[in-house]
Chains A and B, each alone.
Chain A
Amino acid sequence: MTELSAAGVIFEREITPVLRNPIGLVFTIAQPLVFLLLFGPLLTDVPGTGGESAWQWFVPGIVVMTGLFGTAGAGWAIQAELVGGSLERILVTPVSRASILAGKTLKEVFSLVAQAVIIVAVALPLGFRLYPLNVLAGLALLAVFGIGLGSLAIALAIVLRRQQETFWAVYQFLLFPLVLLSGVLLPVEDAPGWLASASRINPITYLVEAERALFAGDFVHASVPAGVVAAAVTAAIGLVAGARAMRTASL
Chain B
Amino acid sequence: MIRARGLTRHFAVKGGERVEAVRGVDLDVAAGELVAFLGPNGAGKSTTLRMLTTLLPPTAGTATIAGHDIRTDPAGARRRIGYIGQGHGAGDYFRVLDELVTQGRLYGLTRKDAKVRAGELLAVLDLEPLATRAVATLSGGQRRRLDIAIGLVHRPPLLFLDEPSTGLDPQNRANLAGIVRRLHAEFATTVFLTTHYLDEADAIAERVIVIDHGRVIADDNPAALKAAAGCSTLDEVFLQLTGRSLRDGSLRDD
Query: Which A residues are within 8 Å of any B CB, using their own CB?
Result: 1, 6, 9-10, 12-13, 16-17, 80-81, 83-86, 88-96, 250-251
Contact = CB atoms under 8 A, between A and B. Distances in A.
A108 to B, nearest CB: 15
Contacts of B106: 1, 6, 9-10, 90, 93-95
A250 B50 contact: yes
Residue among B55, B93, B105, B106 with most chain A CB within 10 A: B106
A81 B91 contact: yes
A89 B78 contact: no
B102 A92 contact: no
B32 interface: no
Given A86-B87, A88-B87, A92-B83, 4 more contacts: A1-B108, A13-B102, A88-B55, A251-B56
B81 interface: yes
Nearest to B57: A251
Contact of A89 (B54, B85, B92, B95): B85
A206 B93 CA distance: 37
25 contacts: A1-B106, A6-B106, A9-B105, A10-B106, A12-B102, A13-B98, A81-B91, A83-B87, A84-B88, A84-B91, A84-B92, A85-B86, A85-B88, A85-B89, A86-B89, A86-B90, A89-B150, A91-B55, A92-B54, A92-B78, A92-B83, A93-B78, A93-B103, A94-B75, A94-B76
Nearest to A88: B85
A93 B89 CA distance: 12
A92 B87 contact: no
A13 B94 contact: yes
Contact of A94 (B79, B85, B86, B89): B79
A96 B74 CA distance: 10
A89 B75 contact: no
Contacts of B197: none
Contact of A17 (B54, B94, B105): B94
A58 B151 CA distance: 50
A85 B79 contact: no
B98 A16 contact: yes
B88 A94 contact: no
A69 to B, nearest CB: 20
Interface string B91-115: 1111100110011011110000000
B240 to A, nearest CB: 33
B93 A17 contact: yes
Interface string B223-234: 000000000000
Contacts of B151: 89
Given A94-B78, A250-B55, A80 B102 contact: no
A54 B93 CA distance: 40
A6 B91 CA distance: 18
Q: Which of B88, B91, B94 has the most A CB atoms < 10 Å from its CB?
A: B91
A64 to B, nearest CB: 27
B53 interface: yes
B91 A86 contact: yes
A250 B91 CA distance: 17
A250 B56 contact: yes
B70 to A, nearest CB: 11
Contacts of A84: 87-88, 91-92
A99 to B, nearest CB: 9
Nearest to B82: A92
B88 A16 contact: no
Interface in B59-86: 75-76, 78-79, 81, 83, 85-86
Contacts of A81: 91
A84 B90 CA distance: 8
Contacts of A88: 55, 83, 85, 87, 89
Contacts of A17: 93-94
Nearest to A95: B106
Contacts of A12: 102
